[in-house]
């Protein structure tokens, strides 16, 4: 589930590790299938022990711990992962531990309840190859209006599905796409080409506004409680959700409609058929 606001919250939460020297790397023995580590754990350990954390960055939905060697530890949370400080929610799903010295925090970890995420160690060339502009669009939280509109307007695709395409803009996932389109009062199955330039400008404004607000509130912790911030606390933006996971409930915006769930591209979409009336 972690999307741009949640991963940005993880990034900011890891700031206490900056300046720390990696003393050891541990792969805990747990009763679940291991996550993907690339290269092997042994190679990752060899290339990181003794390195100093220079900075913590984010690209799209990944956290990058940049080392003084130039390599980056790239953590991709996917459905249920967290890049965080110690302690984790529990040690049953603890996938990898980096122990530090000379830092405000003596450990950072990658924890993953479902084991679908990945931890990679990439050179600058690999970061550019896999996460550069040929692979990912501009960051959705800061992309300028003209760039945003030019990438979507005219496409013969459903708008909700297009917003999830990381090559167009990066960072938007299922949850925030639903909230953005509701705020802009756009039906999620409307074709991009059928949306006016003026309405696209509104979608852009709502994208930046909602993602910014969600970051300020440290993301959304859903009913399963999986997502936590870097110090094992809950996000708060779930209290602002107007449509996501609210099927059958009254619309808080118009108070006339009820939230509907439909499936697009094998993903659940939530919207209000009154606020987001589809053009005929």
Residue with tokens 């760039």: 147
Read off the pLDDT of residues 179-206 as tens digits, 9 standing for 90 and up: 999 999 999 999 999 999 999 999 999 9
206 is catalytic: no
Q: Pick the catalytic residue from 11, 58, 61, 151.
A: 61
Element (H, E) at 67: strand 62-67
pLDDT band for 129, please (50, 70, 90 cuts).
very high
Q: Is the peptide bond prior to 20 cis by the omega test (within 30 degrees of 0)? A: no
Q: Average model confidence (pLDDT) for the chain? A: 95
Q: What is the pLDDT of residue 17?
A: 98
H helices within the chain, ranges in order?
Answer: 4-13, 41-48, 124-131, 145-152, 159-163, 174-184, 197-216
Identify whether 8 is a catalytic site residue: no
Q: What token pair was written down for 165?
A: 């395409």
pLDDT of 227 reads: 87
Domains of the chain (ranges, CATH numbers):
4-131 (3.20.190.10), 145-271 (1.10.8.50)
DSSP 170: B
Task: For residue 235, give both structure tokens.
Answer: 């996000």
The CB density around residue 244, as the number of other CB atoms within 10 Å, is: 23
Report pLDDT for 59.
Answer: 98
- Yes or no: say if 176 and 5 are a contact pair by the CB < 8 Å rule: yes
Cβ neighbour number for residue 126 with a 10 Å cutoff: 16
Query: Is residue 267 flagged as an active site residue?
Result: yes
Cβ atoms 248, 256 nearer than 8 A: no
Single out the residue of 41, 37, 24, 38 nearest to residue 107, CA to CA: 24
**Digit-coded pLDDT (tens) for 19-72:** 999 999 999 999 998 999 999 999 999 999 999 999 999 999 999 999 999 999
The two beta strands, 36-38 and 118-122, are parallel
Please tell me which residue in 3, 8, 158, 179 is annotated as part of the active site: 3
Summarize the confidence of residues 234-253 as an average pLDDT.
95
The question of whether 43 is a catalytic residue gets the answer: no
Cβ neighbours of residue 84 closer than 8 Å, sequence gap 6 or more: 10, 13, 14, 108, 109, 111, 228, 229, 230, 231, 232
**Of these residues, 2, 5, 16, 77, which one is catalytic?**
2
pLDDT at 228: 85
Pairing between β-strand 62-67 and β-strand 81-85 as defined by DSSP bridges: unpaired
The active-site residue out of 201, 267, 273, 277 is 267
């Amino acid at each position: 589930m972690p999307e741009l606001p949640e991963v940005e919250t993880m990034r900011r939460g890891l700031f206490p590790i900056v300046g720390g020297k990696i003393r050891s790397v541990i792969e805990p023995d747990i009763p679940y299938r291991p996550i993907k580590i690339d290269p092997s754990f042994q190679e990752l350990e060899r290339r990181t022990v003794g390195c100093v954390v220079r900075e913590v960055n984010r690209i799209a939905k990944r956290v990058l711990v940049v080392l003084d060697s130039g390599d980056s530890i790239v953590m991709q949370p996917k459905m249920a992962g967290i890049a965080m400080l110690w302690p984790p929610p529990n040690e049953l799903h603890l996938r990898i531990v980096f122990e530090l010295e000379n830092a405000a925090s003596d450990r950072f970890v990658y924890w993953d309840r479902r084991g679908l995420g990945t931890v990679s160690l990439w050179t600058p060339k690999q970061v550019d190859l896999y996460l550069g502009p040929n692979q990912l669009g501009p960051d959705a939280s800061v992309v300028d209006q003209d760039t945003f509109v030019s990438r979507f307007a005219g496409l013969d695709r459903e708008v909700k599905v297009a917003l999830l395409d990381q090559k167009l803009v990066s960072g938007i996932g299922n949850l925030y796409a639903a909230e953005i389109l509701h705020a802009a009062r756009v039906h999620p199955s409307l074709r991009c080409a059928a949306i006016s330039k003026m309405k696209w400008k509104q979608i852009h404004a709502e994208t930046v506004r909602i993602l910014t607000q969600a970051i300020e509130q440290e993301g959304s912790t859903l009913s399963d409680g999986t997502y936590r911030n870097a110090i094992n606390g809950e996000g708060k933006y779930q209290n602002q959700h107007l449509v996501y996971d609210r099927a059958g409930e009254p619309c808080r915006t118009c108070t006339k409609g009820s939230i509907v769930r439909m499936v697009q591209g094998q993903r659940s979409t939530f919207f209000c058929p009154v606020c987001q009336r589809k053009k005929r």
